[in-house]
Structure formats: C-alpha cells, structure tokens
Amino acid sequence: MKKFAKTISSLPFSGKMLIRLFVFGLYGATTRSERMAKFWQVLSLLVLYIFFHGIQAEIGFEALHFDAPVWVRIIFGLYATANTCVVLTQIYLLYRITIFLFKASLPRIKRNPPEFSDVEKVRMVGITIGGQILFFVFFLAYQ
C-alpha cells in the first residue's frame, strides 16, 4: 500500500499542496497539545477530501453507464479511477497519521515544509481543473 500511495502522491493533483502543508505541520509539532490540534486539522481536511473525492468517483462510475462513444467512456473511467485511487491514498494517509500520533516522539525543532515551485503549482492546478472541466463537459453533454 505504501508504494501505491507514493505513486498516487507523485501525480500532479493540486489537493496535495494543502495536504502536504497540514501533514508537515503535524509532523513538526513540538508539544503534545500542538500535535493533537494539528492532528484534528489534518483529520478534518482528509475526511472532507475523502467525502468529496468519493462523490466524484461515484459520479464517474455513474457516467460509465451513459450512452456515449467509447473514447468518452474512457475519460469517464479514468476520472472515476483517479478519484478512487486518491480516496484510497487519503485513507492510507489517515492510517499513517494516526499511527504517527500515538507512536512517534516529539521533534525538538520546527522545520519549514518543503515548497512546490511556481511552475509545479501552476501545472498541478491546471491539470486538476482541466480534468474536472473535461469530465463535466462530457458528463453534461451525454447525460
């Protein structure tokens, strides 16, 4: 599962920018109370992401039943598969942060989270928004 999560995390989806920031905040928490507060923040974010990516995956699987050309169904299938993989990765991340919460020792110093370059940010947002627009244009056209 770890290899699967790393593979999905390497894909240029924009949601990982915020997730990385929150998770790194949790990993860098220097007190137990700060760690708990950061844990609840990450937990809330991931539950929200899991819920909405789950809805998107369900819409993608529903769209596979539309009377559409094969190439459009391939787009629907890729959309549903991508969202399903993202949900599985986020569930695995929830598992990992929960284990970290109870097992890891507190760090002595805070570190800054690694940053994405501006080019990476633009690419991730462009790919995410482009995929959403492409899917929903065909979804509405063949509904």
Share of the chain above pLDDT 90, in %: 52
Res. 114: pLDDT tops 90: no
Contact 36, 23 (CB under 8 A): no
Cα separation of 15 and 64, whole Å? Answer: 25
Note the residue count of the chain: 143
Cα separation of 37 and 50, whole Å? Answer: 20
* 33-37, 70-74, 103-107, range with the lowest pLDDT: 103-107
pTM to 2 decimals? 0.87
Cα separation of 111 and 91, whole Å? Answer: 26
Residue 32 has a pLDDT of 86
